[in-house]
Amino acid sequence: MRKPRNFDADLKALDDKARKLKTRKVRQLGELVIATGADALSADELAGALIVLAETKEAGKREAWAKRGVAFFQGRSRRVAPATGRDADVAPTQPSGAHPASSRKSAT
């Protein structure tokens, strides 16, 4: 005969895992906001921009944004981004080997 399964323990373990994943996602989104320099925007400006992005259905615009995002994660757009005068020693959300964002630090 099989050992009875403890469904309550399984559900609790799944709930804990889901909570950890959600926390990790929120942390990574915050790191992304900082890494892109969007933390210089007010919360209202950032929310408004994200709403417009989410509502946009034009494939051409979405494709252009996706290409720009790929370039960002490959490190190219961070090298050409204008200096913001803030501390740029933020860990990237994905490892890229180089830390080009630190070159903006002296441009204050």
pLDDT digits (tens, 9 = 90+) for 44-64: 999 999 999 999 999 999 999
Smallest Cα–Cα separation from 75: which of 91, 40, 99?
99
Q: Are 101 and 90 in contact (CB under 8 A)?
A: yes
Q: What is the pLDDT of residues 56-95, one digit of tens each?
A: 999 999 999 999 999 999 985 454 445 444 444 444 444 4
Q: Which DSSP state fits 69? A: H
Amino acid letter for position 102: S
Q: What are the structural domain ranges in the chain?
A: 7-40, 42-83
Q: Please write the tens of the pLDDT for every residue from 7-56.
A: 999 999 999 999 999 999 999 999 999 999 999 999 999 999 999 999 99
**pLDDT, position 1:** 77
Whole-number average pLDDT of the chain: 79
Q: Check residue 76 and give its pLDDT.
A: 59
C-alpha–C-alpha distance, residues 106 and 100, integer Å: 12
Q: What is the pLDDT of residue 100?
A: 41
Whole-number percent of the chain with pLDDT over 90: 63
